[in-house]
Structure 1
Amino acid sequence: MSLFYHLGILVFNALLSAVALFNAKAKMLVEGRRETMRRLKELDLDGRTTWIHCASLGEFEQGRPVIERIKKKNPGQRVVLTFFSPSGYEVQKNYPLADLVLYLPADRPSNVKKFVMAIRPQEVIFVKYEFWYYFLKYLHEQKIKTYIISAIFRPQHAFFKWYGGWYRKMLHYFTKLYVQDEQSGQLLSAIGIDNYQVAGDTRFDRVFEIAQNAKEYPALEVFAQDSLVMIGGSSWPMGEKLIADYLRHNPDFKLLLAPHEIHEAHLQQIEALFSDFSCARFSELDKCDLKKLRIVIVNTMGMLSSMYRYGHVAYIGGGFGSGIHNTIEASTFGLPVVMGPNYKKYQEACDLIQLQAGFSVSDSAGFAEVMDRLLKDKLCLAKSSEAAVNYVNKMRGSTEVIVEQLFT
Structure 2
Amino acid sequence: MMYFLPWEAHVLTWSEKLYRQMIVAAAPLMRTVLERSSRYRPLAGRFWMQPCSVPPGGIWFHACSLGEVNTARPLLRDAEEMWPDCPVLLSASTISGYTRASDLAGPGRSYWFPFDDPGSLSRFFNRAAPQVIALVETEIWPGFLAEAARRGIPVAVLNGRISDKALPRYRRFGALFRPAFAKLALVAAQNETYAERFCMLGVPESRIRIAGSLKFDAVTLEPDPDKQHHLRACLGLSGSGSGAVVVFGSTRPGDELLAADCIDALQGDFPEVCWIVAPRHVERADEIDRVLNRFKAVRLSALRSGKSRPGKVVLADTLGDLTGLYSLASVAVIGGSFFPGVEGHNPLESAALGVPTVYGPYMGNFPDAAAALERAGGSLRLADPEQLKETLRRLLADSEERVLVGSRGRKAVQAGQGAVRRNLACLAEIIPSENHGGQGR
**Shorter-chain-normalised TM-score: which range?**
0.7 to 0.9
How far does residue 65 in structure 1 lie from its aligned partner after superposition?
1.9
**1:394–1:5 Cα change, 3 Å:** farther
* Alignment deviations for residues 167-201 of structure 1 (CA, whole Å, 9 cap, x no partner): 23322322211122221123334564342222233
CA RMSD of aligned residues (A): 3.8
How far does residue 341 in structure 1 lie from its aligned partner after superposition?
5.0
Question: Quick check: 1:62–1:201 contact (8 Å CA) kept in 2?
Answer: no
* Alignment deviations for residues 333-384 of structure 1 (CA, whole Å, 9 cap, x no partner): 1222223554333335642674351323644x41123224433455643443
Partner of 1:88: 97
Question: Quick check: 1:25–1:86 contact (8 Å CA) kept in 2?
Answer: no
Distance 1:47 1:166 in 2: 30
**1:301–1:27 Cα change, 3 Å:** closer
Distance 1:281 1:110 in 2: 43
Partner of 2:48: 35
Distance 2:354 2:53 in 1: 47
Question: Quick check: 1:210–1:305 contact (8 Å CA) kept in 2?
Answer: no
The percentage of aligned residue pairs carrying the same residue is 20
Distance 1:178 1:15 in 2: 36
Specify which of 140, 150, 170 is matched with residue 180 of structure 2: 170
1:254 aligns with 2:273: yes
Partner of 2:358: 338
Distance 2:314 2:34 in 1: 39
Partner of 1:310: 328
Q: Equivalences for 1:267-346 in 2 at 5 Å?
A: 269=290, 272-274=293-295, 295=313, 298=316, 300-319=318-337, 323=342, 324-346=344-366
Aligned to 1:216, what secondary structure does the other structure show? helix
Moved over 6 A (4+): 285-290
Q: Equivalences for 1:9-24 in 2 at 5 Å?
A: 9-20=23-34, 22-24=36-38
1:193 aligns with 2:193: no
Distance 2:120 2:314 in 1: 50
Letter in 2 for 1:136: L
Which TM-score applies when normalising by structure 1?
Answer: 0.79
Distance 1:58 1:402 in 2: 18
Which TM-score applies when normalising by structure 2?
Answer: 0.74
Partner of 2:390: 369
Distance 1:141 1:3 in 2: 14
Greater alpha carbon shift after TM alignment, 233-242 vs 207-216: 207-216
Distance 1:128 1:102 in 2: 18
Aligned to 2:205, what secondary structure does the other structure show? coil
Distance 1:132 1:146 in 2: 12
Partner of 1:132: 141
1:181 aligns with 2:191: yes
Aligned to 1:351, what secondary structure does the other structure show? helix
**1:344–1:155 Cα change, 3 Å:** closer
Aligned to 1:250, what secondary structure does the other structure show? coil
Name structure 1 gaps, 5 residues minimum: none
1:66 aligns with 2:94: no
* Alignment deviations for residues 13-39 of structure 1 (CA, whole Å, 9 cap, x no partner): 244135236423554333x24431x85
Give the number of aligned pairs.
Answer: 397
Specify which of 402, 409, 423 is matched with residue 402 of structure 1: 423
Question: Quick check: 1:17–1:27 contact (8 Å CA) kept in 2?
Answer: no
How far does residue 94 in structure 1 lie from its aligned partner after superposition?
5.9
Distance 2:208 2:98 in 1: 29
Letter in 2 for 1:257: I
**1:300–1:15 Cα change, 3 Å:** closer
Greater alpha carbon shift after TM alignment, 137-146 vs 266-275: 266-275
Higher relative contact order (CA 8 A, sep 6+): 2
